[in-house]
Each structure stands twice: as structure tokens, then as C-alpha cells.
Amino acid sequence: MRRSSKKSSSSSAAAATAGPTRGVSKEIERIDQLFCTYADSSSSVIDPEGIEMLCSHLEVPHTDVRILMLAWKMGCEKQGYFTLDEWRTGLKALRADSISKLKKAFPELVQEVTRPSNFQDFYPYAFRYCLTEDKKKCIEIPVACELLNLVLGLQFHPQVDKLINYLKYQNEYKVINMDQWMGFLRFCNEINFPSLDNYDSDLAWPLILDNFVEWLREK
Amino acid sequence: MLKDRKLVLLDDGRRNLLAGVAQLKRILDGEEGSFSAEQYIHLYTAIYDMCTQASPHLYSQQLYELYKEVFDDHNRSTVLPSLMEKHGEFLLREFVQSWEKHKLMAKWLNRFFNYMDRFYVPQKRLDPLEEVGRKSFVELVFDKLKSRVTSMVIGVIDDEREGQLIDRALLKNVLQVYVEVGGTSIDFYNVDFEQPFLKGTADYYSKKAQTWNFDKTCPEYMIKAEECIQKEKERAASYLHSTTEPKLFEDALFELIIRHEEEIMNNENYGCRVLLCEEKTDDLARMFRLFSVVKDGVLPISRIFQEHVNKEGMSLLKHATDAASREKDEKEIVGLLEQGFVKNAIELHDKYIACITNCFQDKTVFHKALRQAFEVFCNKDIAGCSSAELFAAYCDTIIRKGGSEKLSDEAVEEALDKVVKLLSYINDKDLFGEFYRKKLGKRLLFERNRNDEHEKMVLSKLKRFFGAVFTSKMEGMINDIALSKEHQSDFEEYISNNSELKSPVYLNVTVMTSGHWPNFKNYDINLPSDMVKYVEIFKVYYHSYKKQRKLTWIYSLGSCIVIGRFDAKPVELFLNTYQSALLLLFNEADRLSYSEIVTQLKLSDDDAVRVLHSLSCAKYKILNKEPSNISISPNDVFEFNSGFTPRSRRIKVPVPPAEEKKRVVEAVHKDRKCAIDASIVRIMKSRKVMSHQHLVSECLEQLNRTFKPDITAIKRSIESLIQKEYLRRDSETANTYRYVA
């Protein structure tokens, strides 16, 4: 967790002398208030409709990767729903208690997530987030393709492009599991593209990637 | 009493000695007899005195120099000129003689000068007298003549090579001189004779090789070459120094054979390949002998051998495939192939094992070549049948022939021995096992002339080759049959003891342990009440002594003898259970439609069609069909054909079997997947952490006895095990897995 920045520390320092951290509790109040504007009154969580509204206010398409990053920051467990606790966690960490502050926090959030150490955590999180049911361990190919584009598309555009083509073309696998998902990231990070000269199918790469490389080489 | 010794002065001493030397020379030349004892003592004493007198009359040094002078003078003035004027054989003889004389002279003089040799020489660390004499001979005689003598000797040897008779003893003596002249080392021999000789030999044979290549064909060339090499060996043993023999052999071999290796082995008309094709055993054996002397010399031969066997095998394959493609009936195809391919493959194998024994001295490298060649073509599919299936079919044929007394016991055993040997070349051993098991099942259940001894014999062979696990199920099958027989007699007793159970139907039941037997497809059927009654009786009987077992009835394997009371005469019909059940329906009705039959028997359409076809449209028309075409349709009506008159009183009505081959292959593939999974888990459980490559190679090794796993299949297994959380990828080390307890 980030330490409080100067802005609030000054106010909290002032408040500290006064008594309990009123500046901080004010922040929490505003965060909660913001939550209520989007939450469904009966279920007291932000549901997909609420998220859509939030996105339009943020001027970010709700399929944008930044929403996913926000979900990660919040530690959301269920796709499409934000609980109060999650909301609080996320916004507190971003030190945003209003829409405009939240909007401004995005660039820094993106930078934070793309840092390799965080990305290693964000990437599998993205996969788990898409598991729609409790017991499920795989996501369907079309969903996987979308997610790949979202999560890796910017950093590794050529690989992702070809990979998505292949996934749609092949019919051996109908779903992707976590092991294969992680394999994709390793592939993008380690293998030279488009030469593929350091790919060795005798190593422990998932079979789907072996087939992908073979398909690429044949073309 | 010391004699009063006279002082010997140098000049006197010299004169005396030189006179003695002259006398010695005359003695050696045969002009005089030997020294008398007096003369000997006189000379000895003179030297003794001169070496022991007090200074300045101590003449040891002068005597030493005199000794050398004597030899030098003798060699220079007598020996060398004499030799120089001789030629040819006379030179050689004189050469030998002069050394002999030298040796004698040295011997005598050393006796005279003995005192000096024992005391003065070591004291002054000088060359011993023998050395002095030898050196003189070498410098003044040997060195001057060696090149002439050497080239003479080589010339004589070449003459012998060309077939002339020579004086071998003389040559031996000449070369002996070379050896002795070197004293303790044979350097003179090596440098002055052996080297030029070997070079000469090489030249000689290289020229010969050229001429022969033009004149002689390859096998003849090799015969000649072998002859020459033998002769050289003999020559070396006869008159050359022992150290020369191996070098000579090698050099000759090199010039004649190794240098021309390429040409000899790959000659279009006579090369190794051709010899193999034409089965020229002698020539091949000779080629092998000649090349096996050199390290790795036979590797090229083994490679050609492997290629040849491979080619033969592939052409065999092609013949078989062609023959099969002309045949339409699937059953016939298998029959054709197992005789055409398997039998011929076995013969091919025998042929080349014999070849290896006869030509290649049973060397391992050739066995390996044979194995590799066979492994290639024994694993190819032919006309849609895997080689595993064909081998199983072949075994089946042999065993059945043995059962019907067409082959003797020994013949059966021999044939099966050979098949098992070839089985080790097949990768899909588990597939073979499955097919064999299926055929074994059929034999155990249906074959009338069964020879259990043969069955057990095959199993023991397979067990020895492939392990007990491979054969355990099959052994179980044989046991089941034996057990069933025992129980059958008990069952019959049980029935006879119960009067209300007696009936005209005789029921024979075979109880099979389901784990041992291959899966049999079972079609459901509604049996007629008579049959059902007996099924129930057996069930009761069986449960009376085996309470926990569950019985599943497989009617598709059953057979029945039904008596058909036709107008002409009653006929015994050998049918399967379904056919019988169907016919028994006609005890209640004369005509039955297709749908009635199907409803009453509760058969599927496929089965109904097959059974009805066999009874109404095949060889024997037991039922009449309306309309009377040869295909069964749901609108047909069937009638009992009372006018049926077959020639014999007993007929067998066969039903064509359903498609089985694919199922066997599928079953095996499923088993393989489980085997790979189990193997990986076993390995990881014991090792805990392992790299990907190690895991794959361990897995391959473990399973190799049964089949050759595909690397992709192993990877797939690993992935599924990761999914099921038996393993996980190691987070720190790449390409490594960890066992998840």
C-alpha cells in the first residue's frame, strides 16, 4: 500500500493535532458516497449496469483494459460486480474520492500495472476474473482471444495478432486453461518474434504453443 | 713362488701380438690348425704382463689402441676389398661369412686380452672390447656395403614374390647380421633394412594393385590379395625379424585393400551390395576378413548391409501391399498379408541371420544393423493393417494349424520361436498383445481342436520376452477355461441330481473373469423361455458357491445346436444363440414379419438384419423370404422353409462378424494414455522435482517394453496432469516440474 502523499498528510497532520483523522475519514465518506451513486440499492453492490454508468462518467469504454486494472487494484473477485470493501480498497489506494480524481489516477495506474513485477500478478488475475463460474477452470477460446488482446495487445501486438488468428483457426482446443494462459505470457516475453529461432518444442512449452509455432513456420 | 718376470717391452709385445694375430687369421682361413695351449698362454701372459707392469712400462692404453688397430686394419685391408669385388649372391654369402669370421676373431682376441677387458676397460670407463671390434666392423664394412646388400635382399624378395625359388636361409643369415651388428639395439636392422624394405613392399603392392585392377574382377582381386597377404605373413615368419611381421602385414594390407576400399566396396558390378544380392558368401566372408583387421574397417560394410536389408524389406512390403490392394474382402486381406508379409519377413530374417553367421563372424555391429533395418519396415502399416495385427494373425494361423494336426509340435514351436524374435522389432507391442488376446479369446471359446500345450508354450515365450504383465491376462483366460470345464461337470451333476430340472436342453456354460478377457460387444436379446429357464438354473447354481460374483451373460458368443425338422430329413444346425432364438420363434408361428421378429426378440435393426441375412439369403436357405431378393428390408416376411434339403445332416450357418479392428486400436490407445499418465506420476512421485527433458526420457524408457510413446502424447499427459494438479511448473527454474503431494 502506498503511503499517504503530501496532500493528505498535511491535512491529516493538521487534523492529527486536532483529534481523530477527520481528513481521512472525510475521504472515506466521499468514497462511500461515490459508491452509493453507482450501487444497486437492494444488493448494495455495483452491478454491471452501475459499472457501465461509471465507465461513461469516466469516459472510458467499459471493455477497456483500464477497468480491468481497476478491478485488479480493488481485488475484485466477481466479474462485473464491485463490493463496497473492494471499492474502498481500490479508491483509497488510488487516493481518488471523486470521478475526476479517479480519471486522473488512470495513467499512473496503467504504469503501475505494466511494471513487470505487478504484471506477473495482474496477468493471471485477468484470467481468473474471466472465470464465470466457481468450479470452472478454463475460459472459452473467443473470450481468451478478447482477453489476450486487451491485456497483451499493446505490449506484444504482432504476437498477439498471430496467436489470436491461430486460436480461432485451430479446433483441437476449445478452451484455454491457466497453464496455457501463463504459457502465452512466457512466450511473448522469451521468444524472438517473428523469427522464432529460440523456440524449442522439446522444452516444456504447452502443446498448444508447439502447434502454434509449427503453424507459423509452415506459413 | 713368484717367477722372476722379465719385463716386456712395448715393441716386443707388439710384435708378439701381431704375430699371434696373423696366426689367428691363418687359422680362421683354414690354413692352420688351432692355437696350442702353450701359444695361448704365451699370448695371454704377454698381455697380462704389459697391463700389470709398473710404470713407465704399463702399456694398457697402447694395448687398447692396438686392439682397435688390429680390427681396423683387418677390415680395411682384407675384409672390405674382398667384399667389394663380389656381386649378387656371392656378395651376400661373403657378407655373412665376413661377419662370422669377425665374431670368431673377436672371440679369440678377447680371450687373449681378457685381463685388460676385465680391469682396465671398466676402470677407465671405456667401450668393452667387443664393442670396439663391432664398431670397427660397422664403420669400415657394414656402412660401406649396407645399401648394396639391402637393395640386393629386397631384389631377391621381390623375385620370390614373383614366384622364383630363393635361398631363404641365406636371407635369414644376412638379416641376422643386421640385427647382431647393432649390438643391443636393432636400429641398424630397422633403419638400414626394414624401412627400405617396407617402402619397397608398399611400392610393389601398389603397382600390383594397379595391374590387377585392370585385369581382375573384384572377387578375384580379393582372392589374390588374400593370398599375397598370407604369403607375406609366412615370409615374415620364415626369415624376417619378428618385429617386422605386423608392420609388413599392415603395409601390404593397406596398399592392396584399404587404399582401394571405396572401389572395392562400392563397385557397381562386384561391390558389397552386389555380393549381398547375389549371396556370394565366400566373397563376402573374404571381404569381411580383409577389412576387419583395420579398426572400424567393417563399418562401411555393415552400413551397406543395413541398407540392403532395408531395401529387401521395403520391397517385401510393397509386394504385400500390392497384393492386398487387389483384394476387396477385408478378412481376405488380413489372411493374404499375414502369409505374404509376415512369413516372408521371417524368411528374410532367417536368411540374413545366416548371412551374419557365415560371412560376418557373428559380429554385433551387423546384428545391430539388421535390427535397425527391420525396425524400419516392420513398423509400417500395410493396406490399413498395422504390423502388430498381422503378426497376431500369423500366430493365430500357426496355432490353429497345430491344433488341427497340420503341423507337428516341433514345427509349431519353431515357427512361433521365429515370430517372437521378430516381435522385438515392433514398436507397438501392446497393440500386438491386444490383437493376440482377442484371437486367443476366439480360439479358447470356439476352436474345437484346441491344443492347450501350444497355447501355454507361446505364452511362456511371450512372457520371457515381454514380461509377466504382458501375459498375465492371457494366462488368466486359459485358467478360466480350465476352471469352467471343471465346474461344468459339477453343474451337470447338480442338474442330474435334481429331477425337476431335467430337460432335453443341454446347457454348457463358460465362466470368464471379465478383467482377463477382451471386451466383447454384447447385443441384447429376448431369449425364448426354454433358454431363459436354463439361464436361471445356472445362476442359482453359480451363486450357491460364489455368492459375491455378478454374472453378465454374453449371448453373442454363444452357440447352439438346433434340430430342424424339415420335410426331407431332420438336420442338425450349428448356429449362434441369436440365430437359434430367432428360429425358435417359428415353433409358434409359420410366418413372421420383420417387425414381429424384431419386437419379439428386442433386437436392434443392425443385428436383426445380419442374423436374418445369414438364415435366408446366404448359403443355406432355412427361412424363405418374401420378396426373395438378397437384402433385408423392414417390409420382409419370413417363413420356415420346410422344403430345405441340404446334402449333409449337419450344417454350420455362419454369421459375419462385426467390425472389430478399429475398436482394438482405440482400446489400445486409451490404455496407452493411462499408461503414460501412470508412468509420469510414478516418476514424479519418486523424484519430486525433474526437468522436462529428463521426465520425457525416463517415461520413454519405462514404457519402451510395451510401446513407443509419442512425444506429443507425453506432453499432453503432462499438461492434463498439471490441470488435475498432480504436477505443477516450478516457479523459479524454467522447464522443471514439481510433484504436488
| Separation between Cα atoms, residue B243 and residue B254, nearest integer Å | 18
Report whether B665 contacts B431 (CB < 8 A).
Answer: yes
- Among partner residues A137, A177, A203, which is closest to B735 by beta-carbon distance? A203
Helix, strand or coil, per DSSP, at residue B592: strand
Is the predicted pLDDT of residue A1 greater than 60, yes or no?
no
Highest mean pLDDT among A175-189, B262-276, B313-327 belongs to: A175-189
Q: Taking CA A184 as the corner, what is the angle to CA A181 and CA A187, rounded to the nearest 5 degrees? A: 150
Q: Taking CA B458 as the corner, what is the angle to CA B456 and CA B464, rounded to the nearest 5 degrees? A: 100
- Among partner residues B715, B735, B736, which is closest to A207 by beta-carbon distance? B715
Handedness of CA B685, B687, B693, B699 (dihedral sign): negative
Q: What local confidence, expressed as pLDDT, does residue A6 receive? A: 45
Distances (CA, A) of B324 to B318, B334, B381: 10, 8, 12
Report whether A137 contacts A129 (CB < 8 A).
Answer: no
Q: What local confidence, expressed as pLDDT, does residue B637 receive? A: 86
* Closest Cα in chain A to B727: A179
Distances (CA, A) of B372 to A18, A204, B375: 91, 30, 5
φ, ψ (nearest 5 deg) of residue B561: -110, 115
φ, ψ (nearest 5 deg) of residue B591: -120, 140
Supply the pTM of this predicted model. Answer: 0.67
Model confidence band, residue B77 (pLDDT cutoffs 50, 70, 90): confident
Q: What local confidence, expressed as pLDDT, does residue B685 receive? A: 92
Report whether A145 contacts A167 (CB < 8 A).
Answer: yes
Residues A39-77 have pLDDT tens digits of 888 888 888 888 888 888 888 887 888 888 888 888 888
* Closest Cα in chain B to A205: B735
- Among partner residues A179, A202, A210, which is closest to B723 by beta-carbon distance? A179
| Separation between Cα atoms, residue B477 and residue B441, nearest integer Å | 7
Which of B138, B15, B133 has the alpha carbon at shortest distance from B68?
Answer: B133
Model confidence band, residue B62 (pLDDT cutoffs 50, 70, 90): confident
Distance from CA of B716 to the nearest CA of A (A): 7
Is the predicted pLDDT of residue B1 greater than 60, yes or no?
no
Q: What local confidence, expressed as pLDDT, does residue B657 receive? A: 66
Which of B628, B621, B737, B721 has the alpha carbon at shortest distance from B677?
Answer: B721
Task: Fill in the amino acid letter for A163.
Answer: L
Which residues of B make CB contacts under 8 Å with A?
A: 692-693, 696, 711-712, 715-716, 718-719, 722-723, 729, 734-737
Residue-wise burial string across B255-288, b where 16 or more C-beta atoms lie within 10 A, e elsewhere: bbbbebbeebbebeebbbbbbbeeebeebbbbbb
Helix, strand or coil, per DSSP, at residue A20: coil
| Separation between Cα atoms, residue B167 and residue B359, nearest integer Å | 39
Model confidence band, residue B578 (pLDDT cutoffs 50, 70, 90): confident
Percentage of the residues of chain B whose pLDDT score is greater than 70: 96
- Among partner residues A177, A202, A210, which is closest to B693 by beta-carbon distance? A202
| Separation between Cα atoms, residue B431 and residue B434, nearest integer Å | 5
Residue entry with cell 494414455: B673
Distance from CA of A178 to the nearest CA of B (A): 8
A135-147: average pLDDT: 87
Residues B181-213 have pLDDT tens digits of 887 888 888 888 888 888 888 888 888 877 777
Q: What local confidence, expressed as pLDDT, does residue B13 receive? A: 79
Is the predicted pLDDT of residue B105 greater than 80, yes or no?
yes
Highest mean pLDDT among B94-103, B542-551, B653-662 belongs to: B94-103
Q: What local confidence, expressed as pLDDT, does residue A76 receive? A: 87
- Interface touch B729/A202, C-beta < 8 Å: no
Report whether B305 contacts B276 (CB < 8 A).
Answer: yes
* Set of cell numbers at residue B532: 431363459
